[in-house]
Structure 1
Amino acid sequence: MKQNMVASKSGFNDVKSRILFVLFAIFVFRVGSHIPVPGIDYSKLSVIYAQTKTGLFGFINVMSGGSLSRMSVFTLSLSPYISASIAMQFMSYVIPHLEQLRKEGGRGKHKMTQYTRIFALMIALIQSIPMTRMMISMGVVIDPSRLFYIVTAMTLATGTLFLLWLGEQITERGIGNGISVLIFAGISSRFPEGASQLYDMVASGEMNTIVFLLVIAAVIAITAGVVFFEKAQRQIKIMHPSRHQARSASAHSIPLKLNMAGVIPPIFATTLVFMPMSILNMVYGSGQSPFVAAMMRALSPGQPLYIIAMISAIAFFSFFYTAMVINPSEIADNLKRGGVIVPGIRPGAQTASHIDSIIKRITLFGIIYLSFVILLPEVFVRLWQIPFYFGGTSLLIVVVVVVDFMSQLSAHLLPDKYANLVDKPSKTGNKQNLQLFR
């Protein structure tokens, strides 16, 4: 009993230290988002931000945790890493060497991670150049010399690499996926400012009280819907022919989540839709190029082109990511080797085809769900002219990361629950057993 108490206490301390490390990492991230890039006139920058805090600028600013509005060392945030991950996943199906690494398991995954880091550094250096040029074109740079280009490029690239390292430390020493936790921290840090602006609109009469209540109700409804659909599963019943008990046979199943790709499709889709326009805007500036300005307006949230592009990108990445992580033929082979069958389906190719058809159907429903959640708030922004970025992507990421964090926290606490059950006095256990059999 004493050993169980010691194990339970050490397990609780481990969870406590992991939570504290996550909070410390978020604190470091938030402090870093306020460290400015050298050579910026922040009085001019605040005026420009007040004029362009919606649309593309607002979305990038929310995803970076406000770093873009301050031109901090974390201005690029994790977008180079996201772009590198997209490119590496595509190339792993085209380049034979990367395809071989993808199939090698842990060693191959480690190599792929190293390649992704190097690629992310290259993208960060490339993105830092147009970002520096954008700062100069906005007139917020005190001394636009070559030295400013070099220092800013190195600073922004280093900031991205530091965030990548910090995210990996959270994954290893904390709870949850570190990259997702940092994105969550950046998005959630903008919520108080958005809530304050929304309150000011209602207080000044710019927004009707009924509209305000509709916005609050929509946020609550979308949040509840995301939690429900993220926990939704499709159970594929399986059975072992050697077992004759119907009860035990029917209790086994293969669970498939409705949204197996998680927040990957919305993040990748948003990056893919906004990245070309953001690069053009950084290089040319929306005021200098009528074409860029027109495209920026066409791809702003709520516009038809934006909706079509987002739905297409979400559908593509949902099917692509699901096909990458789940192989129906492999599942069918594993079932066949284990002597397990799907009732009414022949083992082998027919089982693989049956599982593949189920995966495609639930992936289609997942695409509809993701598209609705992502695009509905964008329509609200367009209809009610909300003066800050209130997007479905940010709301989805926050809810999904919280749900995943709670699931992993429960997994860490599960051994303690078993230890407490074992540690209960036998007398109490006997009383409970007697009550069960009455």
Structure 2
Amino acid sequence: MKKFIATLKNIWSIEELRSKILFTLLLIFIYRVGTHIVLPGIDPTRLQQLGASASGGILGLIDTFAGGAFSQASIFALGIMPYISASIFMQLMTVLVPQFQKMQKEGESGRKKINQWTRYLTVGVTLVQASAYVAYLRQITSQSQAIIPGYADYFWLSTVIVLTAGTLFVMWLGEKITDKGLGNGTSLIIMVGILARLPQSFLQEFTNKSVRTGQILIFIIELAILFAIIMGCIMLVQGTRKIPVNYAKQIVGNRQFGGARQFLPIKVNSAGVMPIIFAQAVLFLPTLFNFTGTATGQGIASVFTDHSNVWYMVIYAVVVIGFTFLYTALIFNPKQIADNLKQNNGFIPGVKPGQPTADYIGQVMDRITLPGALLLALVGILPGIAQRLGVTHGFSTFFGGTSLLIMVGVILDTLQQIETQLLMRQYDGLMKSGRIQGRQTVTQASY
């Protein structure tokens, strides 16, 4: 405990680190205030009585990322989701389109061009999603008249403008946190939105268990299992397979360069949280059968809206595994890694440079991707398993899935940056043994 207090004092004594923390907290506070400001033309009292919620599929994912602002009809209802969608699209373009690959290799200037295209695309995506959100609000508020009648004629135009401005403002907050604050701004905003639901979900689960005799012990067991799952997710996020790499010695004048032995870290879960997001998006499509009006269509939709359904979990796990292999193949290029090693006089012991090196790295990647995909699929279906075992829906979402993986990854990244600041000034790190390894130490797909 004394060492922990001493570490906090060291963190606070570093002026640069202190200013970054305070700046980050200020912008996060502004974001959280905005999530409680209701859109113009909406009666918040009637909306609250309606109990509008989005608990499944893409709508549930948006509401999770927006910290509940989606279901509250807030000015930040779409949150950072349009920017994430645009970023994912541009990331895929840098892999599939040669022009974008060339732009990415231009260095800082290329990165600025890609960021600018991402912002333009964010505006377009937001306009489409805002129009769809207006239709969604009109559908759920048609009977309760939560939309003020005198404002109905202007509701579509004002809501699209406000939601677009709100998303761009949240995107700006994320960029400012990244530039002048602590950690990745976009990731922190998502994590704060997820954590905002934790106290209410925790209290709901505790209340649900406390009213029954002997259920408090079960609640304590649930917390212990949750802690173990978090530890397992940390291992999944940080797990790497290190391939030894040697660099040939070079003598220039009287000095010797190279000759060092290093490692090429290959992540067990290179795809990150992307397969889970893609799987949720794909499995949302069958729910559209609900609008067919047929008994068969409604039966199909009921399976894919119930995350605790056995068939849903089986299909979901298979889709996650498939997307893990697909996304890993898109973002991981063994040929490029082999060429970079060859250009820098590096080689893997016992493997010839060039194509044999690329084949070897590809084989290693294929071997570790399978257990990584299986573990990722297990993490994805853990909320459904927890719900089947009696955990409330809100609290079960923290037992796995997108929420837990994002929280673990973002917290590790933020702690790594704090530890780097401490070690730069010759303070002790946050851990006695070893250093905290976040996702920034190796290639990682952004979300």
> Is this a same-fold pair by TM over 0.5?
yes
2:299 paired with 1:299:
no
Gaps (5+ residues) in structure 2?
Answer: 1-9, 251-257, 430-447
Q: Distance in 2 between matches of 1:220 and 1:35?
A: 34
Q: What secondary structure sits across from 1:221 in the alignment?
A: helix
Q: Over residues 196-228 of structure 1, what are the superposed CA-to-partner deviations in whole Å (9 max), with x where a residue is unaligned?
A: 111110122299345423422221111011112
Query: How far apart are residue 151 of structure 1 and its match?
Result: 0.5
CA contact (8 A) 2:247 2:260 kept: no
Q: 1:3-42 alignment to 2 at 5 Å?
A: 12-42=14-44
Equivalence for 2:165:
158
Equivalence for 1:239:
246
CA contact (8 A) 1:314 1:371 kept: yes
2:280 paired with 1:265:
no
Larger-gyration structure (1/2):
1
CA contact (8 A) 1:328 1:356 kept: yes
CA change 1:9–1:138 in 2 (3 A) is closer
- Structure in which a larger fraction of residues adopt helix: 1
CA contact (8 A) 1:62 1:186 kept: yes
Q: Over residues 388-431 of structure 1, what are the superposed CA-to-partner deviations in whole Å (9 max), with x where a residue is unaligned?
A: 263222122111110111112222322111799xxxxxxxxxxx
CA contact (8 A) 2:95 2:331 kept: no
Q: Distance in 2 between matches of 1:305 and 1:107?
A: 48
Which of 412, 418, 421 in structure 2 is aligned with 1:409? 418
CA change 1:135–1:360 in 2 (3 A) is same
CA change 1:11–1:403 in 2 (3 A) is same
Equivalence for 2:407:
398
Query: How far apart are residue 267 of structure 1 and its match?
Result: 3.5
Q: Distance in 2 between matches of 1:207 and 1:152?
A: 49
Equivalence for 2:130:
128
Question: Post-superposition, which runs of at least 4 consecutive aligned residues in structure 1 deviate over 6 A?
Answer: 8-11, 285-292
Q: TM-score, normalised by structure 2?
A: 0.80
CA change 1:220–1:147 in 2 (3 A) is same
CA change 1:386–1:197 in 2 (3 A) is same
- Counterpart residue type for residue 352 of structure 1: A
Aligned length: 403
CA contact (8 A) 2:130 2:163 kept: yes
Equivalence for 2:320:
314
Higher relative contact order (CA 8 A, sep 6+): 1
Equivalence for 2:177:
170
2:200 paired with 1:200:
no
CA contact (8 A) 2:240 2:267 kept: yes
Q: 1:16-415 alignment to 2 at 5 Å?
A: 16-49=18-51, 52=53, 54-56=55-57, 59-139=61-141, 140-143=146-149, 145-205=152-212, 208-240=215-247, 242=249, 252-274=262-284, 276=285, 294=299, 296-300=301-305, 301-304=307-310, 306-308=312-314, 310-384=316-390, 386-388=392-394, 390-391=396-397, 392=400, 393-415=402-424
Equivalence for 1:4:
none
CA contact (8 A) 2:210 2:216 kept: no
CA change 1:131–1:312 in 2 (3 A) is same
More displaced 10-residue stretch of structure 1: 97-106 or 372-381: 97-106
Gaps (5+ residues) in structure 1?
Answer: 1-7, 421-438
Query: How far apart are residue 159 of structure 1 and its match?
Result: 1.1
